Amino acid sequence: MPKAHETTLEIDLKALKHNVGYIKSKLSKDTKFLAVIKAFAYGSDALEIAKYLENLNVDYFAVAYTNEGVALRDAGIETPILVLHPQPENFKTIIERCLEPNIYSQRVLKSFIAVAENLKQNNYPIHIKYNSGLNRLGFNVNDIEAINKTLKQTAAIKVKSLFSHLAASEDLNEREFTLNQIHNFKTFANTLTKALNYKVLLHQSNTSGILNYPEAHFSMVRCGIGLYGFANDNAYNKNLIPIATLKTIISQIHTLNVGESLGYNRAFKASKITKTATLPIGHADGIGRQYGNGKGFVYVNEQKAYIVGNVCMDMIMVDVTDIDCKEGDEVIIFGPKHKINSLTKTVDTIPYELLTAVSQRIKRAFYR
């Protein structure tokens, strides 16, 4: 890839294709593949990622909110799209744009039926979520009778899938809890499917579930972070390629004498002659203030350079005292070689947070 001349998030679509192939290699040929592209496809670019994945023939997309699905439809995406956290306010839009809602409570079920009937829908696809232990959204097993009764009173909707979400599939210390989640979902799905008297898709596995619990693949899996090159497990991470590389450049180099300060609040004061490089990226771009004052780091000419002083809105400063560099040189924040989890670990967070925090004002560049 070419050297950066400005702050850029490079997206390697070849790596994305590799990751899809690796994840699919863990599935049976009949298991459908849902790609999770919420939050701008985990901070990359949902429209470009969706277009590319559509050419790879994924079966479903999932987004968090209705407006994310609308943006995909506006871009010409035709693959079915599951909206994971819809609000009744948006149900009319969901139907008009051929999106498919997650129905997680009686209130939401009845609200959606009312809108679907008003728009004279017939067998409009919905997805019913079961709360198997994550305790965020979802029906409980004692709701089955009420769900079935409500569904039998209308022809406006039809259940496309039953699904749930694993809480700790990446943590093998929680294996007993996860197996219990899988068992409970099977019980819920079997009981409700019998009541429905027609076949529906079943899905519960996220990326870690796909890799660690093949018995929970069911008829479809949902892959999110794995698409983007992470598996929450070093044993699997080596088989995936991070698709995103965040680059910037050195805008200016300063030399601080002993006692001179740098940045807001004079947070850094030189105890020796110190050379610093100023970079055009800051907390408005996703590099939060928690990375400042020696915690976070970047790579300048393949050498680690720690952030000094407070992170500014549009700039960070790094210590390059012992690094041979000049203004205009490329700087790597993270990428396939310089792992993002090494950086996020310094402030006790996870790659998801930094990936999805990368500002939309940063230029995206795509490579095939």
Stretch 45-53: mean pLDDT: 98
C-alpha 174: how far from chain center? 22
Report the C-alpha gap between 169 and 213 in whole angstroms.
Answer: 8
The answer to whether the Cα torsion of 141, 142, 144, 150 is positive or negative is negative
pLDDT at 2: 78
Per-residue pLDDT at 341 exceeds 80? yes
Q: What is the mean pLDDT of residues 314-339?
A: 97
Least confident piece of the model among 229-233, 249-253, 317-321, 332-336: 229-233
> Per-residue pLDDT tens for 183-222?
999 999 999 999 999 999 999 999 999 999 999 999 999 9
* pLDDT score at 114: 98
pLDDT at residue 3, rounded to an integer: 86
Query: Residue-wise over 143-169: b if at least 16 C-beta within 10 A, else e?
Result: bbeebbebbeebebbbbbbbbbbbbbb
Closest CA to 336 of 208, 225, 273, 242: 242
Residue in 206, 245, 350 with CA at minimum distance from that of residue 15: 245
Establish whether 38 is a catalytic residue: yes
Share of the chain above pLDDT 70, in %: 100
Residue 235 pLDDT > 90: no
- How far separated are the first and last CA of the chain, in Å rounded? 10
Instruction: Specify whether 264 is catalytic.
Output: yes
Residue 21 one-letter amino acid? G
What confidence category does residue 52 fall into, taking pLDDT thresholds of 50, 70 and 90?
very high
Average pLDDT over residues 9-13: 98
Q: Which candidate in 22, 65, 264, 306 is catalytic?
A: 264
Q: Which of 1-10, 163-172, 186-195 has the lowest mean pLDDT?
A: 1-10
Structure confidence at residue 148 (pLDDT): 96
Per-residue pLDDT at 232: 81
Choices 2.60.40.1120, 2.40.37.10, 2.40.30.170, 2.60.40.10: CATH for 244-367: 2.40.37.10
Average pLDDT, the chain: 97
Q: What's the chain look like in SS3?
A: CCCCCCCEEEEEHHHHHHHHHHHHCCCCCCCEEEEECHHHHHHCCHHHHHHHHHHCCCCEEEECCHHHHHHHHHCCCCCCEEECCCCHHHHHHHHHCCCEEEECCHHHHHHHHHHHHHCCCCCEEEEEEECCCCCCCCECHHHHHHHHHHHHCCCCEEEEEEECCCCCCCCHHHHHHHHHHHHHHHHHHHHHHHHHCCCCEEECCCHHHHHHCHHHCCCEEEECHHHHCCCCCHHHHCCCCCCEEEEEECCEEEEECCCCEECHHHCEECCCCEEEEEECCCHHHCCCHHHCCCCCEEEECCEEEEEECCCCCCCEEEECCCCCCCCCCEEEEECCCCCHHHHHHHHCCCHHHHHHHCCCCCEEEEEC
Beta-bridge partner residues of 83: 63, 101
**Listed range (24-33, 113-122, 231-240) with the worst mean pLDDT:** 231-240
Catalytic residue among 38, 129, 160, 247: 38
What is the average per-residue pLDDT within 152-157? 97
Return the domain boundaries, the chain.
Answer: 31-228, 244-367
For residue 218, count CB atoms less than 10 angstroms from its CB and return exposed for 0-12, middle for 13-18, buried for 19 or more.
buried
Q: Average pLDDT, stretch 67-90?
A: 98
Residue 171, C-beta contacts closer than 8 angstroms, at least 6 positions apart: none
Q: What is the pLDDT of residue 296?
A: 98
Whether the domain at 31-228 and the domain at 244-367 fall into the same CATH topology: no
pLDDT at 1: 74
- Structure confidence at residue 360 (pLDDT): 96
Average pLDDT of 128-153? Answer: 96
Tokens of 173: 């210390």
Fold of 31-228: TIM Barrel (3.20.20)
Which distant-in-sequence residues (6+ apart) come within 8 Å of 266 by Cβ?
none
Rounded to two decimals, the pTM is 0.95
Closest by alpha carbon to 211, among 247, 183, 238?
238
CB 62 within 8 A of CB 82: yes
